[in-house]
Structure 1
Amino acid sequence: MDSAVFQHFRPEERPFIERINDWRNQAVDEYRPILTNFLDPRQIFLVESVLGKLDQSFQYWQFGGYNQAERRRVIFAPGYYTPETADYQLQLFEIKYPQKFAELSHGKILGTLINSGVDRSQFGDIITNGHDWQFFGVKNMTDFFTEQISKIGAINVRVEAISDMDVLVPSNDWLDETLLVTSFRLDTIVADTFKISRQRAKDLIEGQRVQVNWTVVTQPDFQVDLLDMLSVRKFGRVQLRAVLGQTRKERFKIQVGTLRRQPLSGQK
């Protein structure tokens, strides 16, 4: 791979970029499709950026179980190949729990799955319609998810493998917002999104309460890039979706998607 490619991305992303090249070469050399685990939005952006415009001898496809999926599996394949849904080896799971007496949340489900020892790349989006909960996983993990996940927090649950025809229509609480920011520093984006001081944002970051692409980042000056997903504990999530330009005062106009944590009933 041309070393000039790496200068456009973060140094810590180099291993993943090299892996993209390996996947492509494997698909071409072995003349067969290569299927990844679930990739996050930033990783998918890297795939699209690195591969660019492709010739007829090679293509790639992506799918995460439904059209709006954030996390998706990618198939790298020779030009002759056109994937079907089954080729992505996805399984939809539904979480059964006593809805009259308990409440689940995205954070509780995510924490339970990760703490069970499952790598984040083994399952995709966690979706809800407001009361029912489902998630997508890699098909060969079906027995693990259905047999090993029996509690989420203190709530007894049962995980069932169901048909992808029964996927929920997710309730969409994401909001598109436009912000003016002085830089792409992590503390700046967190502060301006959640309307808190830069010092408060810095304290949250250094206190290990902020993740970028599901990895804790403790450097306030970390540079946020396109499609990065930021999670701020007890505040919510924000994704940088577009850079719209720069003002005369040299502030950047950006478009973000925000998912703000709503207080529970009775809390302030």
Structure 2
Amino acid sequence: MLSAGIVGLPNVGKSTLFNAVTRTRKAEAANYPFCTIEPTQGVVTVPDDRLAALTTLSKSQKTIPAVVEFVDIAGLVKGASQGEGLGNQFLSHIREVDAIVQVVRCFESSEIHHVSGTVDPLRDIEVINTELILADLSTLQKRAERLQKQVRAGDKQAKAEAALIDKLLPSLNNGSPASAVSLSQEENDLLRSFFLLTAKPTIFACNVAEADLAAMLSEKAAPSGYVAQVNQYVQTHLNTEAVVISAQIESELVDLDAAEAAEYLASLGLQETG
């Protein structure tokens, strides 16, 4: 089963998004840092219209949909790789998942405190990415030290691992993730055994205010402001794209039936959330 860890700084909307995606209230969402300590887990069925058609065609007695496990991981802070904010514990939780959803705060609010005092999505991304990179550097350096004796003895596997480490270190030392390094299939297979944080597929989720999402969807306009900054950054530096969500809207929909949800969205001038 695929697992995805929801990460980000404290108070960016991780737990709210987790509750929305899993349609539960399992994760505590509060206006103070580290209201989540232990990771909260929830399993979500992947919608697939083709599954019903295939079930009918095959006359199957049982239909088993694909599922994804989402994990709400406590907020990271600057210095997490050195243990700040229980950082080592939180980083170990990230290491256990297959993919990462990095929630980025793209909304202003005088009621929701930002750990840095101001809203700056690019700074927040840099903080998270730097901590993940530093953790990976530590992992590789320790592994390289353990391999030295085996490499000197001519161990083929150890030599391959050491060569891969040498290939990865320059990218990480330059502030780029392991995923940015071009690798052969054999190297990619070997990379999985390293459990590097920055080698994991990552989605950046821009968490915007209700009004901002409504404006974007109703006007079908190109993202602007904070969202545009994040999009440009992740496209340029990480070769990926960001998605736009309003965790608050999604959370409000959790307790509503279909008719109530449609009425709520209509009150915001929306037909859907994205």
TM-score, normalisation: structure 2: 0.26
More helix per residue: 2
- Please tell me whether Structure 1 or Structure 2 has the larger radius of gyration of its CA atoms: 2
More strand per residue: 1
Q: Which has the higher contact order (CA 8 A, sep 6+)?
A: 2
